[in-house]
Structure 1
Amino acid sequence: MMWGVTLVFFSYVASLVTSNDIIMECLEFHDFPPTNSASPSFLADLKVEGVTVEQTCMLNISWAINIDASIEYLTGTRIVIEAESTYHCKYNPPLAKTNLTGSMQKWFHYLVKASYGSTNIQVANLPLPFDEHPYKLFKITVPRPEQHKVCGANVATSLGFKRLPTSPMVPVPVLVVYPAENSAFQQAVVALAEFLQWQGGCKVAVDMWQQGKIAELGPMRWLAEQAGAADRVLIVCPQVAIPSSQLRHSPPNHSFPEPSIPAAAHDLYPLILNMVASHAKSASNLAKFWVVQLGEQQDKTPSNLALELRACKTFCLMNDLNKLCRSLHTQRQDDKISDLTFRPGIAHSEKSTMKLREAVEKLGRHQPSIFRQVELLKSVVTTI
C-alpha cells in the first residue's frame, strides 16, 4: 500500500509544476518530434541534479526558457534520456498567453527515477527548427550504492553524484542528395533524414528542408556550399529504379503523410554525379561521398548504381543502419565527438527506427516486380 502511495506522489510531482498559474504536464513520446520553420529560441540553461524523494533516488531535470517574442511559437519542451525514454512537456496555458512580463527567463523542472551509470540528457524547445541542432546536453553519473544502503537526505553527497560540465553535442554535418523517383522513395528519404537529424547525432542538410535557400542561391551554388561544409555527402539511391506507374494503385499508408518531391531534386542529383566524377582521381576527395541504398537486394542482379557512384563506400539499409551511424562519427577527426556516446549494443532503439523501417519496407515491397521487369527487358534486348 505504501508503494502505491509513493507512486501517486511521484506521478504528481513529476507531471505537474505550477508557477504563476502555469501547469506543466510531461508524457512519454514515441514518434518523431514536430518541426517548423517558425520555432522558439533555444533553452537558456539546463541542469540535472540528484535528489531523494521518499527514500528513492531521482534526477531533477531543470531548464530555463527565454521569455522573448519567440515564445508565441513554443508548443512544448522535449526531454531525451539516452537509451531510456523521451518525454514531451506541455504548458497550460501556453507561455505566450501568460503574464511573464519583466522576466528574462522562466525555470521548470521534471523528476525521473535515477538509473545507475552515466546518462546523457538532452532537452530542446518544440517545435524543432529544420536545419539546426537546438538541444542542450547534460551528462550525469550515478554510481551504484553499497548493498542494503539507503539514499540519504543529500543524495549528491551520499551517492557521490558526479556533476559533469555542460557541453553542447557536436553534430556531424551531413548533406543528403537523392534522385527524384516516386512517393515511396521520397518517403524513405524523409524518414532517413529525420532519423539522422533527431536520433543519429547529425546536422542534416537536405533540399526539402531548405527550399527557400535553394531558390535564393540556385541549385548549383547551394549544393557546392553544402557539400563543402559537410563532413559526409550521403547519396541515397533505391536498389532498382521504380517507375511512378508502379505505385499508382498502391494502397495508401496513413501512418505518416506522403511527402512531395521538391523541384530541386531533379537538378541536384545530376549535379552531385558530376561532382563525384570530378573527384574520381583523388581517393581522399572521393572518400567524402558515401552511397546509401534503400531496400534489400532480391537476388544477384548487378548493382543499379550510376557508374559515377560505384567506387564510393556503400551502405544498405536497414541492415547497415547501425554501421552507418557509427561510421559517420568514428570517421570524424574531432575530440569533441566523445560528447555523443553510443552505448554498446544500443546505437539506436526500435522506437527511433520504426518510421524509417516502415518506409524502407514499403519501398521494398515494390521491388520484386521491378526486378522481374528488368530481367524481362534484358532478355528482349538480347533477343533483338
Structure 2
Amino acid sequence: MVKEQFREADLARRISHVCFGMMSDEEMRQQSHIHVVSKNLYNQDSRQVPVPYGVLDNHMGTSTKDKSCETCGKNLADCVGHYGYVDLELPVFHVGYFKSIIHVLQCICKSCSRVLLGKDDRKTFSDTLRRPNLSYLQRKGLKKKINEKCRKVSYCSHCGALNGPVKKCGLLKIVHERYKSTKKVVDPVVTDFQSSFQSAVEHNKEIEGLIPRAQENLNPMVALHMFSRIPHQLQAYKEDFEEERRDRERMQARQESVEEELATSKATVRQLEAQLHREKNQKQFPPVYHVQYDQQNALRARSANRHTPYAVGNRFNYGFDVVDGDIVADGPSENNDEDKGETREERRRSRRRETDILQCPKCKREYTKDRHNELLEHIDLCYD
C-alpha cells in the first residue's frame, strides 16, 4: 500500500475520535527502513563493526559519536532513529498486552473458548454492556465483575470441560492449573491425567512426586488458537453492535450540539446580567415630563436625579395631581428653599387657565391637548 502524501489544510477541522492500537504487519514494513535477518551483532574482526542487516545496523541510527546514520546522514545527537522489522516464524506474547491476555484466558473455557458464564449472567452482562451511555469507569467495573465470576467457575456450562486458575509463571509464561485439586473428591479428569504417567513412574520413581505439580502450559500458539475461535461465537451479535455503535455516535453528536447551545445560552445570560447591572448602576434615569409653570403651554423634562444634594432632615412630597382626567405625577421634590414657590392650589389654578394648545419647548411645534401622547413621543425624538 502506497503512503498517502500529507497536504496541509487551511481550514480548521474537528477531530471526531482517536484510535489507539497495534500497527499491522504491513504498516510496520512501510515505516521500516531495513529488514533485520542476521542474528549476530558484530562482525568477527578486531574493529567490532555492526553486522549489516542486524539489530545494530547503522541504517537504524548510530550509537557512536564518530559515525553518522546511513539513512539520514545525521550524527548521534541529531538522528532520531529509524525502524527495522523482524519476521517472526511463531507468535509471541506482546509485553504491553500480557496482562490483558491473562484476563481474557481467565474468562474463557480452555476447551471451547466460550465465556465461562451461565445463560442468565451472560444475558445480564450483555444487556448492560450494550447501553450506549456507559462511562469508562462503569465498563471497567463490569469487566472486573465478569472476571471475578469467571474465575470462580470450574466447569464450562457449554461443553462441561474442567477449568482451573490461569496464572503468570515466570517471564512471559502462562500456566493453566487444571489438574491442581484441593478437594477431597478428586475429579475423574485429574485421575485420568495422573494415571497416564503410570508407566513413566515405574521406570523412574522420582517422577511420582512431581506429577501433582504438573500443569498445562499456555504458550503463544495455544493462546492464539483459543483467541481465534472466539470471534465465531460473536459473529451473530456483530450487526447489533454496529447498530448500537451508530446510535452511540449519533447521541454523542447530539450531546455535543446541545452542549454548544448551552454554552451560547450561558454567554447570552451573562451579557444580559452585565447589561442589567450597568443599567442599575447608572446615575441618570429616563426623564419624567412635568408642566413648566413659568411658560405657558410648555413642558420640560426633569430627571429623577437632583443637581443639588438633599439636606439632612428635609421632607419629600410625592404629590399626584389630576389634570383633565389624567393623573400627573411630579417626582420626589425636596422641601427646601430652592423648591419654594407657588403653592399646590396656585399651581392647580394655573393649569386650569392653560389653553388646549401644547407646544414643544425645543422646536415650538404645537399639538392639541387630546394629542398629548404624540407630543411626548415627539419630545423624546427631539431631545435625542
Alignment TM class, shorter chain as reference = under 0.3
- Going by fraction, where is helix more abundant, 1 or 2? 2
TM-score by length of 2: 0.21
Q: Which has the higher contact order (CA 8 A, sep 6+)?
A: 1
TM-score normalised by structure 1 residue count: 0.21
Structure label with greater radius of gyration: 2
Structure with the bigger percentage of strand: 1
